[in-house]
Chains A and B, each alone.
Chain A
Amino acid sequence: MKGFWHDAAEFFPILMSGVVLTIVVTIGSLLLSTVLGLVWAMMRVSGIRVLSLLSASLINVIRGIPIIVLLFYLYFVMPDLGVTLSALQAAILGLGIAYSAYQAENFRAGIEAIDKGQIEAAQSIGMGWWLTMRRVVLPQAVRIVLPPYGNVMIMMLKDSSQASTITVAELALQGKLIASSTFKNTNVFTMVALMYLTMSIPLILLVRHFEKRAGKK
Protein backbone atom coordinates (compact mmCIF):
# COMPACT_ATOMS: atom_id res chain seq x y z
CA MET A 1 0.00 0.00 0.00
CA LYS A 2 2.93 2.29 0.82
CA GLY A 3 4.28 1.62 -2.65
CA PHE A 4 0.96 2.65 -4.17
CA TRP A 5 0.94 6.05 -2.47
CA HIS A 6 4.54 6.59 -3.47
CA ASP A 7 3.76 5.80 -7.11
CA ALA A 8 0.59 7.85 -6.94
CA ALA A 9 2.54 10.92 -5.86
CA GLU A 10 5.10 10.35 -8.60
CA PHE A 11 2.72 9.66 -11.51
CA PHE A 12 -0.11 12.02 -10.50
CA PRO A 13 1.18 15.11 -12.41
CA ILE A 14 1.62 13.11 -15.64
CA LEU A 15 -1.79 11.49 -15.30
CA MET A 16 -3.34 14.89 -14.57
CA SER A 17 -2.09 16.17 -17.92
CA GLY A 18 -4.01 13.22 -19.39
CA VAL A 19 -7.08 14.17 -17.37
CA VAL A 20 -7.01 17.66 -18.89
CA LEU A 21 -7.01 16.21 -22.41
CA THR A 22 -9.74 13.72 -21.46
CA ILE A 23 -11.91 16.64 -20.32
CA VAL A 24 -11.14 18.65 -23.47
CA VAL A 25 -12.04 15.70 -25.72
CA THR A 26 -15.20 14.94 -23.73
CA ILE A 27 -16.51 18.51 -23.63
CA GLY A 28 -15.56 19.21 -27.26
CA SER A 29 -17.23 16.08 -28.59
CA LEU A 30 -20.23 16.54 -26.27
CA LEU A 31 -20.88 20.01 -27.67
CA LEU A 32 -20.42 18.85 -31.26
CA SER A 33 -22.64 15.79 -30.78
CA THR A 34 -25.32 17.97 -29.17
CA VAL A 35 -25.40 20.45 -32.06
CA LEU A 36 -25.27 17.74 -34.75
CA GLY A 37 -27.78 15.57 -32.89
CA LEU A 38 -30.20 18.50 -32.68
CA VAL A 39 -29.80 19.15 -36.41
CA TRP A 40 -30.44 15.48 -37.29
CA ALA A 41 -33.44 15.37 -34.93
CA MET A 42 -34.98 18.56 -36.35
CA MET A 43 -34.52 17.21 -39.89
CA ARG A 44 -36.18 13.97 -38.79
CA VAL A 45 -39.29 15.65 -37.33
CA SER A 46 -39.47 18.45 -39.92
CA GLY A 47 -42.23 16.71 -41.86
CA ILE A 48 -40.17 17.25 -45.03
CA ARG A 49 -39.69 13.78 -46.50
CA VAL A 50 -36.29 14.40 -48.10
CA LEU A 51 -34.79 15.83 -44.91
CA SER A 52 -36.32 13.10 -42.78
CA LEU A 53 -34.95 10.32 -45.02
CA LEU A 54 -31.53 11.97 -45.20
CA SER A 55 -31.39 12.25 -41.43
CA ALA A 56 -32.52 8.64 -40.90
CA SER A 57 -29.88 7.40 -43.37
CA LEU A 58 -27.12 9.48 -41.77
CA ILE A 59 -28.03 8.21 -38.31
CA ASN A 60 -27.98 4.59 -39.50
CA VAL A 61 -24.63 4.98 -41.24
CA ILE A 62 -23.05 6.64 -38.20
CA ARG A 63 -24.49 4.03 -35.84
CA GLY A 64 -23.21 1.23 -38.07
CA ILE A 65 -19.56 2.28 -37.92
CA PRO A 66 -17.49 1.57 -34.79
CA ILE A 67 -16.10 4.69 -33.13
CA ILE A 68 -12.54 3.46 -33.46
CA VAL A 69 -12.93 3.00 -37.24
CA LEU A 70 -14.38 6.50 -37.50
CA LEU A 71 -11.37 7.86 -35.62
CA PHE A 72 -8.93 5.95 -37.86
CA TYR A 73 -10.76 7.24 -40.92
CA LEU A 74 -10.56 10.86 -39.82
CA TYR A 75 -6.95 10.67 -38.66
CA PHE A 76 -5.34 8.30 -41.20
CA VAL A 77 -7.56 8.46 -44.33
CA MET A 78 -8.53 12.12 -44.49
CA PRO A 79 -4.94 13.26 -45.16
CA ASP A 80 -5.06 11.14 -48.36
CA LEU A 81 -8.05 13.27 -49.36
CA GLY A 82 -6.13 16.47 -48.63
CA VAL A 83 -7.60 17.15 -45.16
CA THR A 84 -5.12 16.88 -42.34
CA LEU A 85 -6.42 17.02 -38.79
CA SER A 86 -4.48 17.04 -35.55
CA ALA A 87 -5.06 14.01 -33.33
CA LEU A 88 -7.11 16.13 -30.93
CA GLN A 89 -9.26 17.60 -33.74
CA ALA A 90 -9.86 14.12 -35.21
CA ALA A 91 -10.78 12.75 -31.77
CA ILE A 92 -13.31 15.52 -31.05
CA LEU A 93 -14.77 15.32 -34.54
CA GLY A 94 -14.93 11.50 -34.55
CA LEU A 95 -16.52 11.14 -31.12
CA GLY A 96 -18.83 14.09 -31.82
CA ILE A 97 -20.08 12.55 -35.07
CA ALA A 98 -20.37 9.06 -33.57
CA TYR A 99 -22.43 10.23 -30.61
CA SER A 100 -24.55 12.65 -32.67
CA ALA A 101 -26.55 9.64 -33.87
CA TYR A 102 -27.48 8.63 -30.31
CA GLN A 103 -28.13 12.23 -29.32
CA ALA A 104 -30.42 12.63 -32.35
CA GLU A 105 -32.51 9.60 -31.39
CA ASN A 106 -32.69 10.86 -27.81
CA PHE A 107 -33.80 14.34 -28.93
CA ARG A 108 -36.32 12.90 -31.39
CA ALA A 109 -37.86 10.73 -28.68
CA GLY A 110 -38.12 13.81 -26.43
CA ILE A 111 -39.75 15.91 -29.13
CA GLU A 112 -42.21 13.18 -30.12
CA ALA A 113 -43.19 12.67 -26.48
CA ILE A 114 -44.72 16.15 -26.35
CA ASP A 115 -48.51 16.03 -26.46
CA LYS A 116 -49.88 16.75 -29.93
CA GLY A 117 -52.33 19.18 -28.33
CA GLN A 118 -49.42 21.46 -27.44
CA ILE A 119 -48.44 21.73 -31.09
CA GLU A 120 -52.05 22.35 -32.12
CA ALA A 121 -52.41 25.06 -29.49
CA ALA A 122 -49.28 26.76 -30.80
CA GLN A 123 -50.52 26.49 -34.38
CA SER A 124 -53.93 27.82 -33.40
CA ILE A 125 -52.39 31.09 -32.26
CA GLY A 126 -50.54 31.41 -35.57
CA MET A 127 -47.15 29.98 -34.68
CA GLY A 128 -45.18 28.45 -37.55
CA TRP A 129 -43.07 25.28 -37.32
CA TRP A 130 -39.89 26.87 -36.05
CA LEU A 131 -41.60 29.15 -33.50
CA THR A 132 -43.61 26.16 -32.24
CA MET A 133 -40.39 24.21 -31.78
CA ARG A 134 -38.53 27.05 -30.11
CA ARG A 135 -41.24 28.33 -27.77
CA VAL A 136 -43.36 25.27 -27.06
CA VAL A 137 -41.84 21.89 -27.96
CA LEU A 138 -38.11 22.13 -27.22
CA PRO A 139 -38.41 23.75 -23.77
CA GLN A 140 -40.70 20.89 -22.71
CA ALA A 141 -38.64 18.22 -24.47
CA VAL A 142 -35.50 19.28 -22.57
CA ARG A 143 -36.93 17.90 -19.34
CA ILE A 144 -37.55 14.53 -20.94
CA VAL A 145 -34.21 14.46 -22.70
CA LEU A 146 -31.97 15.43 -19.77
CA PRO A 147 -31.66 12.05 -17.95
CA PRO A 148 -30.56 10.11 -21.07
CA TYR A 149 -28.38 13.11 -22.02
CA GLY A 150 -26.57 12.73 -18.69
CA ASN A 151 -25.96 9.06 -19.46
CA VAL A 152 -24.48 10.02 -22.82
CA MET A 153 -22.13 12.40 -20.98
CA ILE A 154 -20.85 9.51 -18.83
CA MET A 155 -20.45 7.23 -21.85
CA MET A 156 -18.58 9.95 -23.74
CA LEU A 157 -16.23 10.53 -20.83
CA LYS A 158 -15.32 6.85 -20.85
CA ASP A 159 -15.22 6.54 -24.63
CA SER A 160 -12.85 9.50 -24.84
CA SER A 161 -10.22 6.84 -24.01
CA GLN A 162 -10.63 5.62 -27.59
CA ALA A 163 -8.83 8.80 -28.65
CA SER A 164 -5.68 7.11 -27.34
CA THR A 165 -5.73 4.91 -30.48
CA ILE A 166 -4.92 7.97 -32.60
CA THR A 167 -2.19 9.25 -30.24
CA VAL A 168 -4.18 11.74 -28.16
CA ALA A 169 -2.31 11.68 -24.85
CA GLU A 170 -5.40 11.57 -22.68
CA LEU A 171 -5.67 9.72 -19.39
CA ALA A 172 -5.75 6.14 -20.73
CA LEU A 173 -2.78 6.67 -23.04
CA GLN A 174 -0.75 8.42 -20.34
CA GLY A 175 -1.44 5.47 -18.04
CA LYS A 176 -0.42 2.98 -20.72
CA LEU A 177 2.81 4.87 -21.40
CA ILE A 178 3.75 5.01 -17.71
CA ALA A 179 2.85 1.35 -17.19
CA SER A 180 4.87 0.15 -20.17
CA SER A 181 7.95 2.08 -19.07
CA THR A 182 7.76 1.24 -15.33
CA PHE A 183 5.99 -2.17 -15.42
CA LYS A 184 3.90 -0.98 -12.44
CA ASN A 185 0.70 -2.06 -14.16
CA THR A 186 -1.39 -2.59 -11.03
CA ASN A 187 -0.68 0.73 -9.40
CA VAL A 188 -0.88 2.77 -12.61
CA PHE A 189 -4.11 1.29 -13.94
CA THR A 190 -5.71 1.41 -10.49
CA MET A 191 -4.94 5.14 -10.45
CA VAL A 192 -6.31 5.55 -13.97
CA ALA A 193 -9.50 3.72 -13.00
CA LEU A 194 -9.90 5.83 -9.84
CA MET A 195 -9.43 9.04 -11.82
CA TYR A 196 -12.11 8.04 -14.34
CA LEU A 197 -14.38 7.13 -11.45
CA THR A 198 -13.75 10.48 -9.77
CA MET A 199 -14.81 12.26 -12.95
CA SER A 200 -17.83 9.98 -13.49
CA ILE A 201 -19.34 10.18 -10.00
CA PRO A 202 -20.48 13.84 -10.25
CA LEU A 203 -22.05 13.01 -13.61
CA ILE A 204 -23.80 9.95 -12.15
CA LEU A 205 -25.20 12.15 -9.36
CA LEU A 206 -26.29 14.71 -11.95
CA VAL A 207 -28.18 12.03 -13.89
CA ARG A 208 -29.89 10.91 -10.68
CA HIS A 209 -30.91 14.52 -10.06
CA PHE A 210 -32.30 14.83 -13.62
CA GLU A 211 -34.21 11.56 -13.21
CA LYS A 212 -35.73 12.67 -9.93
CA ARG A 213 -36.77 16.00 -11.45
CA ALA A 214 -38.23 14.34 -14.53
CA GLY A 215 -40.10 11.90 -12.26
CA LYS A 216 -41.70 14.76 -10.36
CA LYS A 217 -43.12 16.41 -13.50
Chain B
Amino acid sequence: MIELTDVHKSFGENEVLKGITASVQKGEVVCIVGPSGSGKSTILRCINGLESYDRGEISVEGLKVDRDAPSIVQVRTQVSMVFQRFNLFPHRTVLENVVEGPLYVKKEPRAQAFERGRALLAQVGLAEKANEHPPQLSGGQQQRVAIARALAMQPKAILFDEPTSALDPELVGDVLGVMRKLADDGMTMVVVTHEMGFAREVADRVLFIDGGVIVEQGPAKSVLNQPQHARTQDFLRRVLHPL
Protein backbone atom coordinates (compact mmCIF):
# COMPACT_ATOMS: atom_id res chain seq x y z
CA MET B 1 0.00 0.00 0.00
CA ILE B 2 2.86 2.38 0.87
CA GLU B 3 6.07 1.84 -1.06
CA LEU B 4 9.39 3.57 -0.50
CA THR B 5 12.15 2.89 -3.00
CA ASP B 6 15.69 4.13 -2.41
CA VAL B 7 14.50 7.37 -0.81
CA HIS B 8 17.16 10.00 -0.16
CA LYS B 9 16.66 13.28 1.66
CA SER B 10 19.11 15.98 2.73
CA PHE B 11 18.73 19.12 4.78
CA GLY B 12 21.53 21.25 3.38
CA GLU B 13 24.74 19.26 3.73
CA ASN B 14 23.17 16.81 6.15
CA GLU B 15 21.85 13.68 4.45
CA VAL B 16 19.17 12.31 6.79
CA LEU B 17 17.76 9.54 4.60
CA LYS B 18 20.35 7.49 2.72
CA GLY B 19 18.36 5.16 0.54
CA ILE B 20 15.31 3.93 2.44
CA THR B 21 13.48 1.04 0.79
CA ALA B 22 10.46 -0.34 2.60
CA SER B 23 6.83 -1.20 2.10
CA VAL B 24 3.73 -1.29 4.25
CA GLN B 25 0.92 -3.70 3.41
CA LYS B 26 -2.76 -3.01 3.90
CA GLY B 27 -3.81 -3.64 7.49
CA GLU B 28 -0.24 -3.85 8.71
CA VAL B 29 1.10 -2.01 11.77
CA VAL B 30 4.72 -0.99 11.28
CA CYS B 31 6.68 0.67 14.05
CA ILE B 32 9.78 2.69 13.25
CA VAL B 33 12.25 2.88 16.10
CA GLY B 34 15.70 4.35 16.42
CA PRO B 35 17.74 7.09 18.07
CA SER B 36 16.88 10.78 17.80
CA GLY B 37 17.96 12.34 14.54
CA SER B 38 18.06 9.01 12.74
CA GLY B 39 15.47 10.13 10.16
CA LYS B 40 12.36 8.38 11.54
CA SER B 41 10.07 11.40 11.49
CA THR B 42 11.43 12.52 8.14
CA ILE B 43 10.25 9.24 6.60
CA LEU B 44 6.68 9.91 7.79
CA ARG B 45 6.81 13.53 6.65
CA CYS B 46 8.00 12.43 3.21
CA ILE B 47 5.18 9.87 2.93
CA ASN B 48 2.64 12.60 3.71
CA GLY B 49 4.34 15.14 1.45
CA LEU B 50 5.11 17.55 4.28
CA GLU B 51 8.73 17.22 3.18
CA SER B 52 9.99 16.71 -0.34
CA TYR B 53 12.59 14.01 -1.01
CA ASP B 54 15.60 14.34 -3.27
CA ARG B 55 15.86 10.92 -4.91
CA GLY B 56 14.00 7.63 -5.10
CA GLU B 57 10.24 7.25 -5.08
CA ILE B 58 7.39 7.04 -2.60
CA SER B 59 3.94 5.86 -3.64
CA VAL B 60 0.65 5.39 -1.83
CA GLU B 61 -1.80 2.99 -3.46
CA GLY B 62 0.19 3.39 -6.67
CA LEU B 63 -0.02 7.19 -6.53
CA LYS B 64 3.39 8.89 -6.55
CA VAL B 65 3.94 11.24 -3.61
CA ASP B 66 5.01 14.61 -4.96
CA ARG B 67 4.34 17.52 -2.61
CA ASP B 68 4.30 20.02 -5.49
CA ALA B 69 1.79 18.07 -7.60
CA PRO B 70 -1.97 18.58 -7.29
CA SER B 71 -2.30 14.84 -6.54
CA ILE B 72 -0.78 15.46 -3.09
CA VAL B 73 -4.27 16.35 -1.83
CA GLN B 74 -5.43 12.87 -2.85
CA VAL B 75 -2.47 11.30 -1.03
CA ARG B 76 -3.16 13.31 2.12
CA THR B 77 -6.83 12.41 2.19
CA GLN B 78 -5.81 8.73 2.02
CA VAL B 79 -2.97 8.91 4.53
CA SER B 80 -3.66 10.95 7.65
CA MET B 81 -1.07 12.08 10.13
CA VAL B 82 -1.00 12.41 13.91
CA PHE B 83 1.66 14.76 15.26
CA GLN B 84 3.81 14.65 18.37
CA ARG B 85 2.46 18.02 19.54
CA PHE B 86 -1.13 17.30 18.45
CA ASN B 87 -1.39 20.49 16.34
CA LEU B 88 -5.11 20.90 16.98
CA PHE B 89 -6.67 24.17 15.84
CA PRO B 90 -7.03 26.14 19.11
CA HIS B 91 -9.64 28.56 17.74
CA ARG B 92 -12.10 25.77 16.93
CA THR B 93 -13.99 23.45 19.24
CA VAL B 94 -13.02 19.81 19.55
CA LEU B 95 -15.88 18.76 17.26
CA GLU B 96 -15.05 21.47 14.71
CA ASN B 97 -11.46 20.22 14.67
CA VAL B 98 -12.69 16.75 13.78
CA VAL B 99 -15.10 17.84 11.02
CA GLU B 100 -12.83 20.49 9.46
CA GLY B 101 -11.35 18.11 6.86
CA PRO B 102 -14.57 16.28 5.93
CA LEU B 103 -16.48 19.58 5.61
CA TYR B 104 -14.00 21.74 3.75
CA VAL B 105 -11.73 19.27 1.95
CA LYS B 106 -14.03 16.33 1.24
CA LYS B 107 -17.14 18.55 1.02
CA GLU B 108 -19.26 16.17 3.05
CA PRO B 109 -22.81 17.31 3.88
CA ARG B 110 -22.76 19.25 7.15
CA ALA B 111 -25.19 17.06 9.09
CA GLN B 112 -23.39 13.88 8.05
CA ALA B 113 -19.94 15.27 8.92
CA PHE B 114 -21.06 16.39 12.37
CA GLU B 115 -22.82 13.11 13.09
CA ARG B 116 -19.73 11.16 12.11
CA GLY B 117 -17.55 13.59 14.07
CA ARG B 118 -19.55 12.96 17.24
CA ALA B 119 -19.33 9.20 16.68
CA LEU B 120 -15.55 9.44 16.29
CA LEU B 121 -15.23 11.47 19.48
CA ALA B 122 -17.26 8.79 21.25
CA GLN B 123 -14.92 6.18 19.77
CA VAL B 124 -11.90 7.87 21.38
CA GLY B 125 -13.82 8.39 24.63
CA LEU B 126 -14.31 12.15 24.36
CA ALA B 127 -17.96 12.58 23.40
CA GLU B 128 -18.56 14.92 26.33
CA LYS B 129 -15.72 17.25 25.24
CA ALA B 130 -17.20 18.03 21.81
CA ASN B 131 -17.91 21.69 22.52
CA GLU B 132 -14.73 22.52 24.43
CA HIS B 133 -11.65 24.09 22.93
CA PRO B 134 -8.34 22.16 22.71
CA PRO B 135 -6.46 24.27 25.31
CA GLN B 136 -9.07 23.18 27.89
CA LEU B 137 -8.09 19.51 27.39
CA SER B 138 -5.18 17.50 28.79
CA GLY B 139 -2.39 16.42 26.45
CA GLY B 140 -3.73 12.88 26.25
CA GLN B 141 -7.22 14.11 25.43
CA GLN B 142 -5.84 16.44 22.78
CA GLN B 143 -3.95 13.60 21.17
CA ARG B 144 -7.10 11.47 21.11
CA VAL B 145 -8.91 14.35 19.40
CA ALA B 146 -6.06 14.49 16.89
CA ILE B 147 -6.57 10.77 16.23
CA ALA B 148 -10.32 11.38 15.74
CA ARG B 149 -9.46 14.21 13.33
CA ALA B 150 -7.22 11.85 11.38
CA LEU B 151 -9.91 9.15 11.33
CA ALA B 152 -12.53 11.66 10.14
CA MET B 153 -10.80 11.74 6.76
CA GLN B 154 -11.61 8.01 6.46
CA PRO B 155 -7.97 7.34 5.57
CA LYS B 156 -6.54 4.09 4.30
CA ALA B 157 -3.56 4.54 6.62
CA ILE B 158 -2.51 6.73 9.53
CA LEU B 159 1.02 7.94 10.22
CA PHE B 160 1.82 8.55 13.90
CA ASP B 161 4.84 10.75 14.63
CA GLU B 162 5.87 10.00 18.23
CA PRO B 163 2.27 10.39 19.40
CA THR B 164 3.03 9.92 23.10
CA SER B 165 6.38 11.73 23.41
CA ALA B 166 4.85 15.03 24.54
CA LEU B 167 2.52 13.44 27.09
CA ASP B 168 2.75 13.08 30.85
CA PRO B 169 3.54 9.41 31.61
CA GLU B 170 0.12 8.74 33.18
CA LEU B 171 -1.67 9.91 30.02
CA VAL B 172 0.28 7.72 27.61
CA GLY B 173 -1.88 4.66 28.27
CA ASP B 174 -5.11 6.27 27.05
CA VAL B 175 -3.60 7.20 23.71
CA LEU B 176 -1.91 3.84 23.24
CA GLY B 177 -5.22 2.17 24.09
CA VAL B 178 -6.97 4.03 21.27
CA MET B 179 -4.14 3.14 18.88
CA ARG B 180 -4.26 -0.52 19.87
CA LYS B 181 -8.01 -0.55 19.18
CA LEU B 182 -7.38 0.93 15.74
CA ALA B 183 -4.79 -1.73 15.03
CA ASP B 184 -7.20 -4.44 16.16
CA ASP B 185 -9.80 -3.01 13.76
CA GLY B 186 -7.38 -3.49 10.87
CA MET B 187 -6.19 0.10 10.30
CA THR B 188 -2.91 0.37 8.42
CA MET B 189 -0.54 2.25 10.70
CA VAL B 190 3.03 3.49 10.55
CA VAL B 191 4.15 4.54 14.02
CA VAL B 192 7.35 6.33 14.95
CA THR B 193 7.70 5.58 18.64
CA HIS B 194 9.91 5.07 21.63
CA GLU B 195 7.21 2.94 23.31
CA MET B 196 8.88 -0.44 22.95
CA GLY B 197 6.09 -2.19 24.86
CA PHE B 198 3.53 -0.94 22.36
CA ALA B 199 5.77 -1.89 19.42
CA ARG B 200 6.29 -5.39 20.82
CA GLU B 201 2.61 -6.03 21.48
CA VAL B 202 0.87 -4.26 18.61
CA ALA B 203 3.27 -3.97 15.68
CA ASP B 204 3.42 -6.58 12.95
CA ARG B 205 6.83 -5.38 11.91
CA VAL B 206 9.52 -3.13 13.34
CA LEU B 207 12.08 -1.12 11.38
CA PHE B 208 15.18 -0.04 13.29
CA ILE B 209 16.68 3.03 11.68
CA ASP B 210 19.99 4.67 12.43
CA GLY B 211 21.98 7.22 10.49
CA GLY B 212 19.36 7.42 7.74
CA VAL B 213 19.42 3.71 6.84
CA ILE B 214 17.33 0.72 7.88
CA VAL B 215 19.72 -1.24 10.04
CA GLU B 216 17.36 -4.09 10.85
CA GLN B 217 13.75 -5.01 10.19
CA GLY B 218 11.46 -7.93 10.77
CA PRO B 219 8.61 -9.21 12.94
CA ALA B 220 8.27 -7.03 16.05
CA LYS B 221 9.02 -9.76 18.58
CA SER B 222 12.06 -10.98 16.75
CA VAL B 223 13.65 -7.52 16.23
CA LEU B 224 12.87 -6.33 19.75
CA ASN B 225 13.56 -9.59 21.63
CA GLN B 226 16.43 -11.03 19.58
CA PRO B 227 18.02 -8.20 17.64
CA GLN B 228 20.71 -9.41 15.25
CA HIS B 229 22.61 -6.21 14.62
CA ALA B 230 24.98 -4.82 17.25
CA ARG B 231 23.64 -1.28 16.79
CA THR B 232 20.07 -2.47 17.41
CA GLN B 233 21.17 -4.41 20.49
CA ASP B 234 22.96 -1.36 21.85
CA PHE B 235 19.97 0.94 21.19
CA LEU B 236 17.47 -1.43 22.82
CA ARG B 237 19.71 -1.94 25.82
CA ARG B 238 19.93 1.84 26.34
CA VAL B 239 16.19 2.32 25.92
CA LEU B 240 15.04 -0.61 28.03
CA HIS B 241 17.71 -0.31 30.73
CA PRO B 242 18.71 3.37 30.84
CA LEU B 243 20.54 3.03 34.17
Binding site for B on A (CB under 8 A): 115, 117-118, 120-128, 131, 135-136, 139-140
Min CB distance, A139 to chain B, in Å? Answer: 5
| Complex Cα spacing A115 to B90, Å | 11
Judged by a CB distance under 8 angstroms, whether B149 is at the interface is: yes
Q: Which of A120, A124, A135, A140 has the most CB of B within 10 A?
A: A124
Question: Which residues does chain A contribute within 8 Å of B209, judged by CB atoms?
Answer: none
Min CB distance, B20 to chain A, in Å? Answer: 20
Q: Report yes or no: A127 in contact with B105, Cβ–Cβ below 8 A.
A: yes
Could you write out 9 A-B pairs with CB less than 8 Å apart? A120-B50, A121-B89, A123-B76, A125-B153, A126-B74, A126-B76, A126-B153, A127-B105, A135-B89
Q: Which of A120, A125, A127, A131 has the most CB of B within 10 A?
A: A125
Listed stretches B79-87, B117-125, B183-191, B231-239; interface member: B79-87
Q: Report yes or no: B89 in contact with A125, Cβ–Cβ below 8 A.
A: no
Min CB distance, A211 to chain B, in Å? Answer: 19
| Complex Cα spacing A94 to B100, Å | 40
Known: A121-B88, A140-B90. Contact between A127 and B104, CB under 8 A? yes
Question: Which residues does chain A contribute within 8 Å of B178, judged by CB atoms?
Answer: none
Q: Which of B73, B87, B88 has the most CB of A within 10 A?
A: B87
Q: Report yes or no: B83 in contact with A126, Cβ–Cβ below 8 A.
A: no
Judged by a CB distance under 8 angstroms, whether B35 is at the interface is: no
Near A by CB (< 8 A), chain B positions 104-156 give: 104-106, 149-150, 153
Contact with A along B85-104 (1 / 0, CB 8 A): 10111110000000011001
Question: Which residues does chain A contribute within 8 Å of B85, judged by CB atoms?
Answer: 117
Min CB distance, B2 to chain A, in Å? Answer: 15
Tally of chain B residues near chain A (CB < 8 A): 24
16 more CB-based (< 8 A) A-B contacts, given A125-B149, A135-B89 = A117-B87, A118-B87, A120-B83, A120-B87, A121-B83, A121-B87, A122-B89, A125-B80, A125-B100, A125-B150, A125-B153, A126-B73, A126-B77, A127-B101, A140-B89, A140-B90
Per DSSP, chain A at the interface is helix
Judged by a CB distance under 8 angstroms, whether B42 is at the interface is: no
Per DSSP, chain B at the interface is loop
Binding site for A on B (CB under 8 A): 48-50, 73-74, 76-77, 80-81, 83, 85, 87-91, 100-101, 104-106, 149-150, 153
Question: Which residues does chain A contribute within 8 Å of B80, judged by CB atoms?
Answer: 124-125
Min CB distance, A122 to chain B, in Å? Answer: 8
Among residues of A, the one whose C-beta sits closest to the C-beta of B67 is A123
| Complex Cα spacing A139 to B91, Å | 8
Question: Which residues does chain A contribute within 8 Å of B150, judged by CB atoms?
Answer: 125
| Complex Cα spacing A124 to B97, Å | 13
| Complex Cα spacing A30 to B91, Å | 26
| Complex Cα spacing A128 to B101, Å | 11
Q: Which 7 A-B residue pairs are closest in the complex by CB-CB distance?
A: A125-B101, A121-B87, A117-B87, A124-B81, A126-B105, A126-B76, A126-B77
Q: Report yes or no: B83 in contact with A123, Cβ–Cβ below 8 A.
A: no
Among residues of B, the one whose C-beta sits closest to the C-beta of A117 is B87
| Complex Cα spacing A123 to B50, Å | 8
Q: Report yes or no: A131 in contact with B105, Cβ–Cβ below 8 A.
A: yes
Q: Report yes or no: B105 in contact with A136, Cβ–Cβ below 8 A.
A: no
Q: Report yes or no: A118 in contact with B89, Cβ–Cβ below 8 A.
A: yes
Min CB distance, B50 to chain A, in Å? Answer: 5
Question: Which residues does chain B contribute within 8 Å of A124, judged by CB atoms?
Answer: 48, 50, 76, 80-81, 83
Min CB distance, B115 to chain A, in Å? Answer: 19
Question: Which residues does chain B contribute within 8 Å of A140, judged by CB atoms?
Answer: 89-91
Among residues of A, the one whose C-beta sits closest to the C-beta of B89 is A136
| Complex Cα spacing A178 to B106, Å | 64
| Complex Cα spacing A204 to B157, Å | 52
Min CB distance, A144 to chain B, in Å? Answer: 12
| Complex Cα spacing A118 to B105, Å | 16
Question: Which residues does chain B contribute within 8 Å of A136, judged by CB atoms?
Answer: 89
Question: Which residues does chain A contribute within 8 Å of B50, judged by CB atoms?
Answer: 120, 123-124
